[in-house]
A = this chain, B = another copy of it.
Amino acid sequence: MTATALYGRELAAAIRAETTERAAALTASGRPPKLAVVVATADESSAWYVRSIAKAAGQSGIACDIVDLGPDAAADTIVAALDRLSADGSVHGVMLQTPLPGGAALEELAGAIAFGKDVDGANPLSLGRLAAGLPAHPPATAEAVVALLDHYGVELAGRRVAVVGRSTVVGKPLAHLLLDRNATVTVCHSRTVDLPGVTSTADVVVAAAGRPGLITADHVRPGATVIDVGTNPTPDGGLTGDVDAEAVVHRAAALTPVPGGVGPVTTALLLRHTVRAAADR
């Protein structure tokens, strides 16, 4: 058996086509959509990601301001920038890029992003509303996992899904999105005992731990679907996921590549959220 590759490009292209159309309509009506990305790091893979967002935004007709506060920015400075952008009527989406200086937590500072502009679901209010089943922008990465499963017709209702990783930006919001879809959800993490024993009972395994090669063939039931959210930098400047793809590809029925799986969908959804936020104003 060789797993089907679940590429994200087709779905991303469809989302971006719709988003480009909506962006053009907004611009024509005098409300050109704009995303602001606040950066306070010199991290290279972070810079690569932000450039890819700006490029994709440009291709969709969405302005993208990168507000670079430098890697030594104080928490107060970051919050002040978020406050200013939240109050700026020409800005429709605000995103705070990680990592943050001095080990500041995203969830601490992101409360300063106005709820309506919180297009990457980083404000704890967005997470709480998502958990409560109320309208909110989910974090784009978490939503991309579900969108990709839907695109490839992977059933979720009544299925067992193991989410490996309990971050505030992926694992936790994803658990809520999957519960909304009637999956039975297990959240695993670094302190889980016998991880293969837990994940190998799942129909769908989502790896979102940020540890290269964590998920091996032993972790996967034959025929399961495996979604790799990992984006770990490699020494040669590339990206590798959390899944040992060479081993898992012979066991899973379907597997997302890294890069080219969840990532393109994430960026497309972030831009969709931005035009929605602009339209809702």
Contact = CB atoms under 8 A, between A and B. Distances in A.
Interface of A: 105, 107-108, 123-134, 157-160, 166, 168, 172, 175-176, 179, 182, 184-189, 191-193, 198, 201
Contact of A131 (B105, B127, B189, B193): B127
Contact of A184 (B133, B158, B179, B189): B189
A108 B134 CA distance: 7
Contact of A107 (B105, B133, B175): B133
Contacts of A176: 172
Contact of A128 (B125, B184, B191): B125
Count this chain's copies in the assembly: 2
Nearest to A193: B158
Contacts of A201: 201
Contacts of A124: 125, 128-129, 131-132, 134
A187 B179 contact: yes
Contacts of A160: 198
Taking each of A130, A132, A176, which has the highest tally of chain B beta carbons within 10 Å of its own beta carbon?
A: A132
A157 B158 CA distance: 27
B128 A158 contact: no
A185 B182 contact: no
A108 B133 CA distance: 9
B184 A184 contact: no
Contacts of A125: 124-125, 128
B186 A186 contact: yes
A192 B187 contact: no
B184 A198 contact: yes
Nearest to A126: B128
A277 to B, nearest CB: 18
Nearest to A107: B132
